[in-house]
Amino acid sequence: MKRKIIEKRERGVSVADLACTYNRSTSTICTILEEEEVTAKQQSSSAIREMLKAWETVASYIEKHHPNKAVAMPAKFI
């Protein structure tokens, strides 16, 4: 049910209409939508951390193996 509420809201259905459709209060619908927003932000933060870890690995490899150290060093600071 939560997934359907979120999908319908993303398509533009009003909170009041969702509350009527699912026989819930508007505050319950808002809570469901807020929880989804928090979850999405947490997933986004996790993805960013993973990318940064991957970049550290790449930068370290470039620093060790690039023939021109003057070019390789700035990659570490991007």
- On the question of pLDDT at 55 being above 60, the answer is yes
- To the question of pTM greater than 0.85 for the whole model, the response is no
The residue among 30, 36, 34 whose CA lies nearest residue 15 is: 30
pLDDT digits 0-9 by tens, 12-44: 999 999 999 999 999 999 999 999 888 877 778
Res 14: pLDDT: 96
- Going 57 to 58 to 60 to 65, the CA torsion angle's sign is positive
